[in-house]
Amino acid sequence: MAQASKVTIVEVGPRDGFQMEKTFIPTESKIAIINTVARSGVPKIEAASFTSPKAIPQMRDAQAVMEGIERRPGSAYTALVPNLKGAQLAISAGVDAIRVVICSSEAYNQRNVRMSVAESLKTCEEILQTGRAASTAVEAVVALAFGCPLEGDIAEEKVVELTRRLAEMGYREISIADSAGLANPAQVQRLMRRLVREFPDVHFSMHIHNTRGLGLANVLAALEEGIDAFDSSLGGLGGCPVVPGARGNIPTEDLVNMLEEMGVETGVDVEGVMVASRVAQEVLERTLPSYVLAAGTRQQLYRNIEEREREKSVTR
């Protein structure tokens, strides 16, 4: 499979990142961060999730966030949903696309959405129909496709079977998610190669967590299998509710920086993403785990060193 020359970056920090924050982030701050990252040119932003406020209290202002954000032409604003009610709320809030989540692991699906995988599949079918009736795009996210903190390793067959069921229902956009950050590049290569071959009508994207520092390596493995869309979070926001100490998604600036340096087009201004990450750092009052945010892009790094050397020669 040829490596893509253009990649779509999906900014998921405002959903996957924010949902992990214990202290409620004021709605205006969420809006400010989303608007700032949108200005960097990211073509798609997961702005919120429509979930039970008891399950995910941080997302209880999803509607207000959707109402308050600027809708930058060129950026699509999506929301994650666990059930039909969430899909209906997302549609009435005016999202450009819905992402419905279903887990490869029975135990995690139960814990996450209080449904069996079979019940979630039924929900996926209802949501696809609801989306079609409202002319809102619907995508599926197959979560924990590379391992589950509750169930352990996930058989490739399970992910293939879930994908088959979703494809048969009519899903054409499927995200394969390493939600706990358990994948390695060989595993990514194997599974994505198989999925791309078996489901030529489906466009696959990937959602990768950087729990064990393998995020960018996994992106590279997927790129080589022709995958051309990846989720990431500004500053590397996020974590995993059942993995203590887990870092978040791949930092968006690190992903954009790597791709652009490799000559893969993203349409995203890395410095613009870093502005958003700095706003997030101020709001959250902590340093976010992005490498590029700390050390700069290659050009910034050269500039910083040049300046420092100049200062040294002046004081000498």
Q: Which residues belong to the active site? A: 240
Binding mask 80-109 for Zn ion (x = CB under 5 A): ------------------------------
Q: For residues 140 and 168, what is the distance between their CA atoms, to the nearest angstrom?
A: 13
Q: Which residue is nearest to ligand COA (CB)?
A: 86
If one asks whether residue 83 binds ligand COA (CB under 6 A), the answer comes out as yes
Phi, psi of 106 (to 5 degrees): -60, -45
How big is the site for Zn ion, counted in residues (CB under 5 A)? Answer: 2
Which residue in the set 12, 113, 162, 258 belongs to the binding site for ligand COA (CB under 6 A)? Answer: 113
Neighbouring CB atoms inside 10 A of 37's CB total: 30
For residue 82, the minimal CB distance to ligand COA (Å) is: 4
The CB density around residue 17, as the number of other CB atoms within 10 Å, is 26
Does 178 help bind Zn ion (rule: CB under 5 A)?
Answer: no
Q: Where are the alpha helices (DSSP H) in the chain?
A: 27-38, 62-68, 84-92, 106-113, 117-133, 156-169, 185-198, 215-224, 252-261, 270-284, 291-295, 298-315
Query: What does 277 bind: ligand COA, Zn ion, none (CB cut-off 5 to 8 Å by kind)?
Result: none
Answer for which of 41, 86, 149, 235 binds ligand COA (CB under 6 A) is 86
Cβ distance to ligand COA smaller for residue 19 or 211 = 19
- Residue 203 bridge partners (DSSP): 173
Residues in 134-193 at the binding interface with ligand COA, rule: CB under 6 A: 143
Cβ proximity to ligand COA, 126 vs 271, nearer residue: 126
> Does the protein bind ligand COA through residue 82 (CB under 6 A)?
yes
Residue nearer to Zn ion on the CB measure, 16 or 253: 16
Residue recorded with tokens 């924990």: 144
List the one residue from 28, 71, 74, 114 that touches ligand COA (CB under 6 A): 114
Query: What's the rounded Cα separation, in Å, for the pair 29 and 47?
Result: 13
Structure tokens at 252: 């968006």
Note whether 199 and 171 are within 8 A (CB).
Answer: no
Q: Which residues pair with 209 in a beta bridge?
A: 249
Footprint on residues 5-64 left by ligand COA (CB under 6 A) = 19, 49-52, 55-56
- 16 lies in the site for Zn ion, by CB under 5 A: yes
Tokens linked to 104: 């490869």
Coil, strand or helix at 265? strand
Q: How far is the CB of 241 from ligand COA (least distance, A)?
A: 7
Minimum Å distance from CB 16 to Zn ion? 4
Residues that bind Zn ion (CB under 5 A): 16, 179
